[in-house]
Amino acid sequence: MIDQIIPATDTPGAKGARVNEFIDVILTEWANDDERRNFLSSLADVDKQSNTLFGKNFADASSEQQIVLLRSFDESAAIARSVDKHRPPQWEPAGRDTLMQDDFFTVFKKMTLHGYYTSEIGFSNELKLQIIPGAQHGCIPLAPGRGCGLIGANMATTTYDAIVVGSGITGGWAAKELTEKGLNTLVLEAGRSIVPERDYVEHVPVWELKHRGWDNRAERERSQPIQRECYYACDEYSHQFFVNDKENPYTFAPGKHFSWIRGRQVGGKSIMWGRQSYRWSDLDFEANFERGNRPSIGPSATRTSLPGTTTWKSSPASAARLKACRSCPTENFSRRWR
């Protein structure tokens, strides 16, 4: 069936990409009992229908007969999808672990396509894509004899000008600013060190992951039931950056569920969300207003420009709108363009 869905042409087909092995892994290690039972029962029904139409099992049917049967399955699946209610995306709680909760042929076709295009053959030969290169080591020059140390490192002194607790974005940036000002700074971090070549995963080929990005569902449910609520990030690639919930328990009041997403490593949670954080400025808040799309929610558009500087003046109306937004300025302020 998989080789009829993706046959061999000038590149190997699904069987050549070992898609059948991927499907076996998903069925034996990822699917729950009901999903596995439904899948295998539906697979047996394929042979029953083939026998009814052609008097032989699907594997013994001719290529033309197999294609006729698969097309009928595909047409039925398309009709079912057209009348099916909207399904929540997989990254939402309601859509989690629903990859096998559809009609059989839709699931089978989805698994075949996913298995093929996450294989080395499909990824490199068919799509002609390349893996992101390996780790990059960023560094900044420090004055002789001044630096930023971590507990456990080989540090020459035990006297520090400043101590920073935590090495996430806030602590890391504070340490950067302090060391650049010449202060000998100690950073205290409760988590492990990060080794880029070992820990960063953006350069790992997806075909080297056992579940091809579907994740180790049983293990994640066992050891990281809270962390996996951050479904788009705590996955087969990046789960090691999230704490083990069994080893780091916490409590909350009955009926008041609180998802505490935590990361303990050098770099803190910045490692878990791509080491980028986009924060809106006054220009972002005013963009729609200046284009006439909707009322402004930021500082008023009263603006004067000087070389290298933009000065805004908040109107009383803007100030009222911004009263509840502590991160937005409500007085006169200047911003240096860089």
pLDDT value for 141: 54
Q: Which residues contact 83 (CB under 8 A, 6 or more apart)?
A: none
What is the reported pLDDT for 22?
A: 95
**Domain tally, the chain:** 3
**Residue 174 falls inside a structural domain:** yes
Domain that holds residue 11: 2-126
The three-class DSSP label of residue 80 is: helix
Please give the pLDDT value at position 99.
85
Residue 179 and residue 96 share a domain:
no
Residue 337 pLDDT: 35
Which residues of the chain are under the pLDDT cut of 50? 140, 145-146, 154-155, 296, 298-315, 318-319, 321-338
pLDDT at 304: 40
**Assigned domain for 120 exists:** yes
If asked whether residues 288 and 319 sit together in one domain, one would say yes
Residue 218: inside a domain: no
Q: Is residue 181 assigned to a domain? A: yes
**In a shared domain, residues 162 and 113:** no
Answer yes or no: do 114 and 16 share one domain.
yes
Radius of gyration of the chain (CA): 28
Do residue 58 and residue 166 come from a single domain? Answer: no
Give the pLDDT score at 308. 42
118 and 163 fall within a common domain: no
Domain assignment present for residue 239? The answer is no
The DSSP secondary-structure symbol of 205 reads -
- Alpha-carbon distance values, 330 to 286, 288, 297 (Å): 14, 19, 12
Contact, 227 vs 242, CB < 8 A?
yes
- Can you give the pTM of this predicted structure? 0.61
Which stretches within the chain are classed as H helix?
2-5, 19-25, 33-54, 63-83, 104-117, 120, 169-180, 196-199, 217-223, 282-290, 316-321
155 and 95 together in one domain: no
Residue 338 DSSP SS3: coil
- Do 38 and 118 have their domain in common? yes
Task: Specify the amino acid at residue 320.
Answer: A
User: Does residue 160 sit in the same domain as residue 105?
Assistant: no
pLDDT at 137: 53
Instruction: Verify that 76 and 22 share a domain, yes or no.
Output: yes
Query: What's the pLDDT at 274?
Result: 63
Claim to verify: residue 94 and residue 163 sit in the same structural domain: no
Determine the pLDDT at residue 240.
92
Is 142 a domain residue? Answer: no
Question: Which residue, 148, 187, 184, 182, is CA-closest to 170?
Answer: 187
Tokens for 129?
């894509």
12 is a domain residue: yes
In a domain, 36, yes or no: yes
Query: What pLDDT was estimated at residue 59?
Result: 92
pLDDT on residue 149: 54
Q: Are residues 73 and 19 in the same domain?
A: yes
